[in-house]
Amino acid sequence: MTADRPGVLPSTGRAGARADDVVELGDLGTWRPKLVASDLDGTLLTSDGEVSPRTRAALAACWDAGIPVVGVTGRGPRLFDSVRAALDGRGIAVLAQGGFVVDLERDEVLRTVGLPRDQATAVIERIESVAGELVLAVEDAAEQGEVHSPLRVQHGFDWPYPEPAHLLPRHQVLPTGAVLKVFLRSPTLGQDELLARARDVVDPAEAEVTHAGLGFIEVLPPGITKATGLAIALERYGVGFGDVLVFGDMPNDLPMIEAVRDAGGRAVAVANAHPAVRAATPLVTSGHDVDGVARYLEALLDGRRPGV
C-alpha cells in the first residue's frame, strides 16, 4: 500500500448541528492517557474533511509526549491513502469499523475480516422483512488490498462522498465472494429507525449493524466493531482500555467509547455528537469545526484551564 498524501479526505461537505459550538472545558485534572484514539469524520476532521493545522499540531504534541495516536474510522481500505495522510503516516489506523487494521509505519495489515456472501444475503433479507425494500452498496472484501477499488453501488443509493463507484443493478451489487461491509439505505426510514429495526432481527452472532450518521446503516462481520479493532492496536502498544482517551460522535463509535469508559479510561464526545453518544459519556469538548479534539488535547497536555 502506498499513499499520495492528499491534503483533504473525501467529505460530504455538510456541517452538522453544533459543529462550531465551543465548550468551556474547565480543569481536566492530572490524569494522562497512555494512548489517544479518535474517530475521524465528524470528530477529528472538519466538515470539509480536513485536518486543521491546530489539530495536526495537537496530535504531534501527543507523539512528542510519548502518547501514540490511533485513528479509528468507518472508512474502508479504498480510502487508505487519505486516512494515512490524515494521521501523517504515524501509528496504527483502524478502518472499516474495525474490520481492517493497519500499522501505517510498517505497512502491515494486522486484521482483515470479510462477511460471506450467503450470510450477507440472509441478513439483508431479514432486515428487509421489517424495513421494506432497501437500496444497497458494498465494499468488496476480495479487494481490500487494492486501495483504489471503488464501491459497488446500486443505482439510486445516493452515495454521499465524491468518489468513483461501480453503479450496478440490485442483483449485481453483491460480489461472488465475501464483503467487507454492506451499506443499506431506506427510501422511507431514517437511519436511527432503520438501525433499531435491524437490531431487532439481526443476531450479533451473525453480523454487527451500526450507522455513522450518513443516512444509512452498515452490516459488518460478527464481532467487528471499533472496540475490537482498537483492541488490536492497544495490544500492539501494550496499553489497556483504562489508559485510553477516546473521542467520537456517532453510534458506530459507541463500542469503543463504552469500552474505554467502563475500563476507567476517558471517553469524550464532541459537541456535535449523536444523542446516543452524548448519553454514553458526560465528557464533552467543542465541535469538530472548531478543533474540539485539539482543544481537549492542548488542555490536557498543558495542564491548564482553557478558555475559548
| pLDDT computed for residue 13 by the predictor | 46
Same domain, 56 and 181: no
Residue 9 located in a structural domain: no
Nearest by Cα to 248 from 222, 267, 261, 220: 267
| pLDDT computed for residue 1 by the predictor | 37
Residue 12 located in a structural domain: no
Gyration radius (Cα) of the chain, Å: 18
Average pLDDT over residues 219-244: 98
3-state secondary structure of 224: coil
Hey, which bits of 82-241 come out as E strands? 92-95, 100-103, 108-112, 135-140, 151-154, 165-168, 179-185, 208-211, 217-220
Same domain, 91 and 180: no
Same domain, 59 and 193: no
Q: How far apart are CA 160 and CA 119, in angstroms?
A: 26
Residue 7 located in a structural domain: no
Same domain, 48 and 169: no
Same domain, 56 and 104: yes
Average pLDDT over residues 53-60: 98
Same domain, 238 and 92: yes
Residue 19 located in a structural domain: no
Residue 178 located in a structural domain: yes
Same domain, 44 and 167: no
Same domain, 107 and 229: yes
| pLDDT computed for residue 306 by the predictor | 40
Helices (H), the chain: 53-64, 80-86, 117-131, 170-173, 191-201, 226-237, 254-263, 275-280, 292-302
Same domain, 188 and 156: yes
Question: Which residue is associated with the grid cell 483492541?
Answer: 231
| pLDDT computed for residue 10 by the predictor | 56
Q: How far apart are CA 5 and CA 74, in angstroms?
A: 19
Set of cell numbers at residue 64: 512528542
- Among 220, 250, 276, residue at a domain's last position: 220
| pLDDT computed for residue 133 by the predictor | 97
CB-CB neighbours of 53 under 10 Å: 10
Residue 130 located in a structural domain: yes
**pLDDT grade, residue 148 (50/70/90)?**
low
**pLDDT grade, residue 159 (50/70/90)?**
confident
pTM beyond 0.75, yes or no: yes
Q: How far apart are CA 275 and CA 269, in angstroms?
A: 10
- Among 220, 254, 287, residue at a domain's last position: 220
Average pLDDT over residues 295-305: 83
Residue 126 located in a structural domain: yes
The parent domain of residue 39 ranges over: 35-112+225-302
- Among 220, 245, 267, residue at a domain's last position: 220
Q: How far apart are CA 137 and CA 118, in angstroms?
A: 16
| pLDDT computed for residue 162 by the predictor | 78
Q: What is the CATH number of the domain that holds 276?
A: 3.40.50.1000
CB-CB neighbours of 10 under 10 Å: 16
Same domain, 102 and 233: yes
C-beta of residue 209 within 8 angstroms of C-beta of residue 219: yes
Same domain, 97 and 142: no
Q: Which residues pair with 184 in a beta bridge?
A: 136, 217
Kind of pairing, strands 151-154 and 165-168?
parallel
| pLDDT computed for residue 269 by the predictor | 98
Q: In total, how many domains does the chain have?
A: 2
10 Å CB burial of residue 11 (0-12, 13-18, 19+) is middle
| pLDDT computed for residue 302 by the predictor | 87
Same domain, 246 and 203: no
Average pLDDT over residues 66-86: 94
Helices (H), 26-169: 53-64, 80-86, 117-131
Given a cut of 80, is residue 266 above it in pLDDT? Answer: yes
Given a cut of 50, is residue 4 above it in pLDDT? Answer: no
